Structure 1
């Protein structure tokens, strides 16, 4: 038993090293192709700036900001909208989703509403939100809240429905009330899917945030990219895209770290 466990651990370590190597090689290839395209001038530098130019632009924005506004203010504006909306969606979508999965009557009320607006492109009803709430952060946070609510809600409903009913019946036969069943069986069993829903919601809401900032904003990473595009500053556009990609990865890494600490029984490696 011990030898099999040790062998399995070694195989897992080897697999992880291989995956990391493949990831590094992939990005080396991407950066190399980018460098060669710009070095050989296969494409105009206005369309595809060189890695060196992009790096210098990033350092310049880091030091002096963009259009006189420090980078941290743009990031702060975007993250304020993002995390406020995510926080509101988490504290509302999780209980409503779990209750909808557990009680069919709650599902009958909430599910139709979510399923109605979920397929709609967020920007389709953003104009209405602007008319109702103005162009300040309130309309943006509401838009992001709606975008993040649906994936978290759906993951919670799905998680509850996947629970083995025998566990619930066994708990009832031992005298457990609804409160204990919910907190001791339902919630722990649903946590892995809940975190998956939250991670999905982060990606959806981040995409929606950038789109919202491109329409009605005077700050934020999305606004910076849009403003740069108006003046054909492709180097600034690439910097903005890279910042969004890296910060998105960091947010996801943070969520996975929290998930490993909370859902420790899932068997992460």
Structure 2
């Protein structure tokens, strides 16, 4: 006689399914999981920030609440009275809307970092393919790379004045070394066998550079540009310490000097979100330019 079948114990399965169901409920449906987690993280951060300020655990002069920061942001993007009882209205802050301050800073970044993006790979290729040039220029390049921007902003002002020229030079000098060094590293990583094979097939120097070195080095160049633009953007406040209006960095610095903490935090948030946007755009362009990166 065969033994009766043993019934499966479905208790743990039901418990596990119920727990999984509760976990799925915690994440908003219809959204990618990564995006949902990020949104929940932001909401949790804002809730914690609001709770700390609402309980007055920190002096509002040092940590204003989200509502105060939002009001400062709205004020900086709208027309408002110059002073209570004064009928005259002025735009934003320091006679410019916040988006105009941001646009002025982005224009300086485009000029300074843009020049570095154009010249950096050219110099990097030259140094990467010539040991003599690399030996001569390497120490100067590393010296410039290790200098903090505030260390030479005063000298640039003496040379070029307090206008945009000194600011553009500062941003260029901040972005130039990372791109050159990344390009040199990319060139050095190219296998000598690939270069020799191209030469054996009759390729001249220009063809070796254009068809072997450039495609192999491009991922490193894109990575260097990404780092350089991020570093240049973090230098924008230093670049706009003097005569930085309009400019988002100059506005943040001036608001801090005036103890206008809500406006300072609004500027910091805008600077941070702009940095994330710039990084995402460069990453997207890099994915389009080097679709083979990461492929076997």
TM exceeding 0.5: yes
Task: Give the distance between the partners of 1:21 and 1:267, measured in 2 at CA.
Answer: 27
Task: Give the distance between the partners of 1:54 and 1:138, measured in 2 at CA.
Answer: 32
Is the 2:240–2:249 Cα contact (8 Å) retained in structure 1? Answer: yes
Residue deviations 1:6-42 (CA, integer Å, cap 9, x gap): xxxxxxxxxx955434433332332221111111111
1:209 equivalent in alignment to 2:240: no
Q: Name which of 61, 85, 96 aligns with 2:76.
A: 61
Task: Give the distance between the partners of 1:193 and 1:28, measured in 2 at CA.
Answer: 36
Q: Which residue of 1 aligns with 2:224?
A: 197
Q: Which residue of 2 aligns with 1:3?
A: none
Is the 2:121–2:179 Cα contact (8 Å) retained in structure 1? Answer: yes
Residue deviations 1:111-130 (CA, integer Å, cap 9, x gap): 22211221111111111111
Residue deviations 1:156-188 (CA, integer Å, cap 9, x gap): 011111111111111111111111111111011
Deviation at 1:267, TM superposition (A): 4.7
Task: Give the distance between the partners of 2:202 and 2:151, measured in 1 at CA.
Answer: 50
Q: Name which of 202, 222, 232 aligns with 1:175.
A: 202
- Paired residues in the alignment total 253
Relative CO higher for 1 or 2, CA cutoff 8 Å, sep ≥ 6? 1
RMSD: 1.7
Q: Which residue of 1 aligns with 2:116?
A: 89
Residue deviations 1:79-114 (CA, integer Å, cap 9, x gap): 111110111111111111012111112212322221
* Secondary structure of 1:264's aligned partner: coil
Task: Give the distance between the partners of 1:164 and 1:22, measured in 2 at CA.
Answer: 42
Task: Give the distance between the partners of 2:97 and 2:72, measured in 1 at CA.
Answer: 13
Q: Which has the higher helix share?
A: 1
Residue deviations 1:176-232 (CA, integer Å, cap 9, x gap): 111111111101111111111111111111111211212442320111112111221
Q: Name which of 33, 44, 47 aligns with 2:62.
A: 47
State how 1:65-214 maps to structure 2 within 5 Å.
65-214=92-241
| CA shift in 2, pair 1:165/1:25, >3 Å | farther
Q: Which residue of 2 aligns with 1:221?
A: 248
Deviation at 1:264, TM superposition (A): 1.3
* Secondary structure of 1:48's aligned partner: coil
Deviation at 1:67, TM superposition (A): 2.8
Q: Which residue of 2 aligns with 1:8?
A: none
* Secondary structure of 1:80's aligned partner: helix
Task: Give the distance between the partners of 2:43 and 2:191, measured in 1 at CA.
Answer: 46
Deviation at 1:148, TM superposition (A): 0.3
- Give TM-score, length-normalised by structure 1: 0.89
Task: Give the distance between the partners of 1:68 and 1:136, measured in 2 at CA.
Answer: 18
